[in-house]
Amino acid sequence: MDEREISALAVAYQRGDERSFKTLVDGLSRGLIAMAYRYTGDWEWARDLTQETWIKVHDRIHSYDPARSFRGWLLTVHRNGCLDHLRRAWVRLESAPGDEAIGGYAAASSFGNPHEDLERREFHERLLVALGELSESQRQVFVRVDLEQNDQREVAEALGMKFTTLRTTLHFARKRLAAVLVAMEESL
């Protein structure tokens, strides 16, 4: 589905056409699950977060401005949901360190051999935990650029910051994360 088709469906849904909502859910859920997977490292969690996002869209569709990109609005809602999921996990980890993993990692990864998958999942989990140590602006830049793999210039525009500012923020975010991850490795 291209942007124009997506926006037309969103406007139709805003006017009460439930079939348009189903078309949007069916057409965009795969991308949302993939995005949420980067925040959780778990397909089930990713699917649950995607489901929550669509419920929020259903509840807030009347606040959507048709003059703006529906996909952009949808991704913002979804990203905020994913970050909220991480924040809840960070709170849990603070109260009971090591008690519960961020994503659970119950589902097997689709990539590589089981040993590599385990190492990758464990590293990803530590990375998500380390995200909690960043400032809000560093986190916003890092998740959009490195976690979601978006173009740096587009992210700078979306966040309303200069490209050089974004580059500097990203640089310090990575350094901070690396330091936290090293500390976590050493404590194992």
Partner 1 sequence: MKKGIDCEVFQDQLDALSGEALSEEGIDLLRRHAATCSECATLLRMREHLAETSPGNLEAAVPGALVDSVWRRVQAEIAVKESRRPSRASGWRQAGWLLPALAAASVVLLIGTGFLLGELRRLRDREALLVQEIVDHERRVSRLDRPADSPLLLRRGTLSAARAWQRTLERRETVSIEDLTEMLASLPSRTTLFGQSDVEALISSLPLWIGSAWREALEEVSAEDGIQASELLELILRLDIDSSRRIPSARILSFSRGALRAG
* d(C-alpha 124, C-alpha 112), whole Å: 15
H or E, element range at 126: helix 114-131
User: Toward partner 1, which CB reaches closer, 91 or 175?
Assistant: 175
Could you tell me the smallest distance in angstroms from the CB atom of residue 179 to partner 1? 6
Interaction mask 114-153, partner 1, x per CB under 8 A:
------x--xx--x------------------xxxx----
User: Toward partner 1, which CB reaches closer, 27 or 91?
Assistant: 27
Q: Does 46 bind partner 1 (CB under 8 A)?
A: yes
> Are 100 and 86 within 8 A, CB to CB?
no
* d(C-alpha 103, C-alpha 130), whole Å: 14
User: Toward partner 1, which CB reaches closer, 91 or 178?
Assistant: 178
Q: Does 13 bind partner 1 (CB under 8 A)?
A: no
Interaction mask 154-173, partner 1, x per CB under 8 A:
-----------------x--
DSSP state of 123: H
Place of tokens 């990758």: 120
**Stretch of residues binding partner 1 (CB under 8 A), selected from 4-12, 30-38, 63-71, 96-104:** 30-38
Which letter, b or e, does each residue of 23-45 get, where b requires 16 or more Cβ atoms within 10 Å of its Cβ? bbbeebeeebbebbbbbbbbbeb
User: Toward partner 1, which CB reaches closer, 92 or 172?
Assistant: 172
Span 82-111, contacts to partner 1 by CB under 8 A: 110-111
Q: Among 47, 11, 42, which Cα is nearest to 32's? A: 47
